[in-house]
């Protein structure tokens, strides 16, 4: 009895209209091509900041610090407009981040992504070895994003850390999606809270609680 002819398996890269079915990290040459074509936007941009698979980003002069004497606790369901205060430093003025302190900063660079690329923001190893963390949960950047990136800065060392305007603070890498997002960040129906931000932006989580409370309950 002859053996059955094996059924050919379609290559994953040729399915779904010849679209790749996986995400891939952009290399330096791919990042350069995307920047030159205007698919990815980074302003200002220095070609010297291009790394093998990422771009170095720098610290802006604005910080949003928490004022602990204005509220007894942080209420995630209520607006607390005076919970934080915006500060700016001069060119050579240090911002001192104390042990255990948490503040919001931002990248000097304005970043724009198309609807088929996502990005990851990561801290620098050299700064991590000093106890400086640049984000706790906000390392993921959605397709369609436009704005400066808010940094969640914290000092886990035992000594204060001096931060300076323009210093290299992290790196951003890019991933090509399997297909373009149907509703990229900034789409009107998403209510994207931080699209177009140009300064360290306080949490708008309370807006989610308000909108959900207004929706009729499902039965």
- Residues identified as active-site: 152
Beta strands in 4-145 (DSSP E): 24-25, 41-43, 55-58, 62-66, 84-88, 95-97, 102-112, 117-123, 132-133, 140-141
CA distance 153 to 97: 8
DSSP label of 206: H
Query: For residues 103 and 63, is the Cβ–Cβ distance under 8 A?
Result: yes
Structure tokens at 38: 């205007």
* Of 57, 109, 104, the residue nearest 84 (C-alpha): 104
Instruction: Write the burial class of residue 76 (CB in 10 Å: 0-12 exposed, 13-18 middle, 19+ buried).
Output: exposed
């Amino acid at each position: 009895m002859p053996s059955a002819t094996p059924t050919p398996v379609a290559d994953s890269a040729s399915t779904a209209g010849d679209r790749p079915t996986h995400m891939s990290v952009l290399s330096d040459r791919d990042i350069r091509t995307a920047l030159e074509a205007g698919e990815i936007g980074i302003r200002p941009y220095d070609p010297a900041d291009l790394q093998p698979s990422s771009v170095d980003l720098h610290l802006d002069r604005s910080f949003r610090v928490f004022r602990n004497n204005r509220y007894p606790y942080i209420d995630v369901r209520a607006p607390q407009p005076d919970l934080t205060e915006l500060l700016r430093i001069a060119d050579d003025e240090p911002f001192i981040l104390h042990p255990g302190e948490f503040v919001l900063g931002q990248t000097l660079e304005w970043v724009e992504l198309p609807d088929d690329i996502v990005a990851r923001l990561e801290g620098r190893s050299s700064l991590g070895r000093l106890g400086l963390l640049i984000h706790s949960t906000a390392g993921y950047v959605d397709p369609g994003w436009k704005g400066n990136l808010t940094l969640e800065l914290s000092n886990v060392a035992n000594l204060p850390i001096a931060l300076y305007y323009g210093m290299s603070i992290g790196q951003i890498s890019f991933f090509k999606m399997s297909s373009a997002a149907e509703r990229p960040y900034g789409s009107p129906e998403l209510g994207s809270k931080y699209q177009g931000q140009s300064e360290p932006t306080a949490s708008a989580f309370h807006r989610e609680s308000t909108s959900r409370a207004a929706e009729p309950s499902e039965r």
